[in-house]
Structure 1
Amino acid sequence: MPAKESQKICMDCKDADAILQTRHRHYCGACFKRFLSHKVAMRMSKFKQMKKSNGQAPKLLLPLSLGISSSVLLQIINDDIERQFAKTFVNVGFEVHVLVVDAQSGANDDVYDAVSKAFSRLSFTKLPLHSVFEYVSEMGKIIAEYANQKFVDQEQATNEDRLTAFRTAISSPTSRSDLDSVLLTRLVVEYAKSLNCETVIWGDSDTRLAAKTLASVAKGRGASLTWSVSDGMSPWGVNFDFPLRDLSKPELEQYLSVCEELSGLVVPDAHISEDVLTKNLSIDDLMMRYVRTQGEKYRGVMANVSRTANKLQSTIGSDDPSCPLCGGLVGNVKGNSGVTVANQSSDNYSAKFCYGCMRSRPESSIK
């Protein structure tokens, strides 16, 4: 009778039983959390160096979706802050504000309340997505000009009704998801500027960044890769940083499984059934599904997608025209149908917007 297989031992502490595996190494729960935290700490160290240079702790804004990735980032950052406060001489290297954007009219109010209580050292703000009309004062004019005859902005209506009417005018799931992302980014940026935050730290994993890279190219937004998935300056004068870019979504899910502090504080990812027709999914959902499935087989290949995108350098000059909606470059970008910005100029409204936004315009004929 064969002997019972012995339990694997954690390859880091050499003491506890290993319960998790990643990158060909076995970890106990504590060592796995320490491994992921170290990856994030290396990315966040630049902000501590900034404080040493000028004596001021940089202000950072963390957009929290209440999902797995951004919640894990919040937990790791909070753990670091708590360790600093436990020392005799407190030296926190940065100041973090947390923003939750509510796109579903209070659907996760209970989770938000629990999170804000659990992380009491941090300041929290919750804003509805339609508050983009308040923080971006010209947004009503922009979307009215953008949608042309397909949408009439009723300024006397509530901001919630205005946003609902605008989204209703967009029939394609891809276009609706694309514009939701644009509006979310604009709101986050303007709120960050209102707090004098110099950097937005996004909770996008390596898996998410790879999916965003592929989706952006497919949607005609390849020019935005130098800031939408890369560490650096955005078109609005606020830096974007992605501290989780060295970690995959499965690794963050493993972290969550051994992190008792996050129990009950995370909204599960929406499950997309395999039976859903492809035409009913957005490009973002399709690319995320693709990266998740292929990433399990070829993790190195998927990781190289976001790493390569992060090496891209922007060639946009300060005098180059930018899209008033998404901030992207308005240039001579040719699409599959041969439509260019130059031959869109017969429409005054279309000449102002980038190719990616024009593809998402209500009833757009651009392919």
Structure 2
Amino acid sequence: ESLAKSHPPPGFDLHVLIVEPSSIYPSAPSHDEAFDLVQRCFPRASFTRLALHDIFNIDPELRDVLSKFAGNNFADDTSLSHKERLDAFRASITTATSRADIDYILLNRLIIAFAKSIECFGILWGDSDGRLAAKTLANVAKGRGSALTWQVSDGMSPFDLEFNFPLRDLFTAELQNYSSLFPELSNIIMPDTPPSENILTKNLSIDELMVRYVTTQGEKYPGVMSNVTRTANKLQSSRMPTDGSRCALCQTYICNSEGKPNEVQTPNGLQDEPFRDFCYACIRSRPELN
């Protein structure tokens, strides 16, 4: 009924990108029916469905980056399918934290590259207050604190795209309660991946630990989790000098106190030239240092 009413034209066109969960988490089920249903429910929006390994098509520069990042632990075989190539690369990452970190980076690159390919001016992220709190804590622990100004805050990103988080003030429980009032939503909402049954913290990634922490503590102290996100939203971009170079993997700016190119000591005490292309946080995730 509301669609039949006369409304002024919107100031933007909405294009929804759905990244197939099973391409990131093999245990996740396929959502073919939900994808078809959401298109019927929202006919005025445009939809695209991609798998994570489609990044090789949308971001062709990634091929050389992955080989350089993984070092001797990975050899890219272009004769394989994109899925097999990505699976081989992810298998070269040895720790749970590094794998989760790289998956997040690849997902970001896929979404950003796709947005640019269709000439979007901004991206609306669906993170709730709790998810932003978990992301904030995890990124600080992984050495990505300098990126919080655009990873959890509204505003311009380093990729010349506006990032906005319209659900930032809503708790996950509130969103779940809202969806329960509308039965039609239950068939199109993709549930979060259930937490790992592995209770040994050494086998969990930092991201998983922070999600568990925020989930359990957020139920008891929702105001505390909300303050985490609000505090991160007040952060300002670093004024540390930089020569304008970007990390080859996560594509954020590389800088240090003197504004010189990144210099890192390898375990054998010698500077490794490939390290110069990556930021501190990405270097920590490299297989050779795990």
1:343 to 244, 261, 265: 265
Whether the aligned pair in 2 keeps the contact of 1:101 and 1:127 (CA below 8 Å) is yes
Task: Report deviation, 1:355.
Answer: 1.2
Match of 1:326 among 223, 242, 250: 250
The answer on 1:272 being equivalent to 2:195 is: yes
Q: 2:138 aligns with which of 184, 203, 215?
A: 215
Instruction: Say which of 64, 88, 92 aligns to 2:10.
Output: 92
Say whether residues 1:255 and 2:178 are aligned partners: yes
In the alignment, the residues of structure 2 paired with residue 124 and residue 347 of structure 1 have an alpha-carbon distance, to the nearest angstrom, of 43
8 A contact 1:332–1:341 mirrored in 2: no
- Structure 1 residue runs of 5 or longer lacking an equivalent are 1-81, 334-339
How far is 1:260 from its partner?
Answer: 2.1
| Structure 2: distance between partners of 1:159 and 1:351 | 27
Q: What does residue 230 of structure 1 align with?
A: 153
Question: Per-residue deviation at 1:219?
Answer: 0.8
Q: Check the 8 A contact 1:231/1:242 in 2, yes or no.
A: yes
In the alignment, the residues of structure 1 paired with residue 238 and residue 116 of structure 2 have an alpha-carbon distance, to the nearest angstrom, of 24
The 2-side partners of 1:115 and 1:341 are apart by 48
Which residue identity is paired with 2:71?
N
Tell me by how many angstroms 1:155 deviates: 2.1
Residue 154 of structure 1 deviates from its aligned partner by: 1.3
Structure 1 residues 144-163: aligned runs within 5 Å: 144-163=67-86
Report the equivalent of 1:297: 220
Amino acid at match of 2:287: P
1:330 partner SS = strand
- Tell me if the contact between 1:331 and 1:341 (Cα under 8 Å) persists in the aligned partners: no
TM-score for both structures, normalised by structure 2: 0.88
Deviations 1:46-98 (A, max 9, x none): xxxxxxxxxxxxxxxxxxxxxxxxxxxxxxxxxxxx84x44334332321000
SS in 2 for 1:126: strand
Q: Which digits, 9 at most, give the CA deviation of each residue in 1:98-117, with x for residues without a partner?
A: 00112425822222122222
Q: CA deviation at 1:330?
A: 2.1
Given that 2:136 and 2:152 are in contact with CA atoms closer than 8 Å, whether structure 1 keeps it comes out as yes
Give the CA RMSD over aligned residues.
Answer: 2.1
Q: Which amino acid aligns with 1:93?
A: G
Match of residue 73 from structure 1? none
Quick check: 1:342–1:351 contact (8 Å CA) kept in 2? yes
Equivalent of residue 115 in structure 2, options 168, 192, 200 = 192
The alignment partner of 1:178 has SS state of helix
Q: Does residue 139 in structure 1 map to residue 62 in structure 2?
A: yes
SS of 1:90 mapped into structure 2: coil
How much has 1:156 moved relative to structure 2? 2.6
Does structure 2 retain, via aligned residues, the 8 Å contact 1:223–1:328?
no
Greater Cα radius of gyration, structure 1 or 2: 1
Aligned to 2:20: 102
For residues 271-302 of structure 1, the C-alpha deviation after alignment (integer angstroms, 9 at most, x for no partner) is 32666221222111110111111112222221
Preserved contact between residue 242 and residue 254 of structure 2 (Cα < 8 Å): no
* Matches of 1:102 and 1:88, distance apart in 2: 35
5+ long unaligned stretches in structure 2:
24-28
Runs of 4+ more than 4 Å apart: none
Amino acid at match of 2:54: S
Contact 1:226 1:314 in 2 (8 A): yes
- Give 1:357's aligned residue: 282
> What is the deviation of 1:147?
0.8
Match of 1:240 in 2: 163
Q: Do 2:244 and 2:253's aligned partners in 1 also have CA atoms closer than 8 Å?
A: yes
**1:197 CA displacement:** 0.6
Higher deviation after alignment, 170-179 or 261-270: 261-270
Q: What is the DSSP-based 3-state SS (H/G/I as helix, E as strand, rest coil) of the residue aligned with 1:121?
A: coil
Relative to structure 1, the CA distance from residue 310 to residue 181 in structure 2 (aligned partners, 3 Å threshold; closer, same or farther) is same
Task: State the AA in 2 paired with 1:283.
Answer: I
How far apart, CA to CA, are the structure 2 residues paired with 1:130 and 1:88?
42
Q: Cα distance 1:171–1:342, how it changes in 2: closer, same or farther (>3 A)?
A: closer
Q: What TM-score results when the alignment is normalised by the length of structure 1?
A: 0.71
| Percent identity between the two aligned chains | 50
For 2:140, the aligned partner's letter is V
The equivalent residue for 1:66 is none
**Alpha carbons 2:71, 2:288 under 8 Å: kept:** no
Task: Work out whether residues 211 and 284 of structure 1, in 8 Å CA contact, stay in contact via their aligned partners in 2.
Answer: yes
Does the residue aligned with 2:64 lie in a helix, a strand or coil? helix
Letter in 2 for 1:104: S
Q: Note the C-alpha offset of 1:122.
A: 1.1
Instruction: Call closer, same or farther: CA 1:291–1:89 in 2, change over 3 Å.
Output: closer
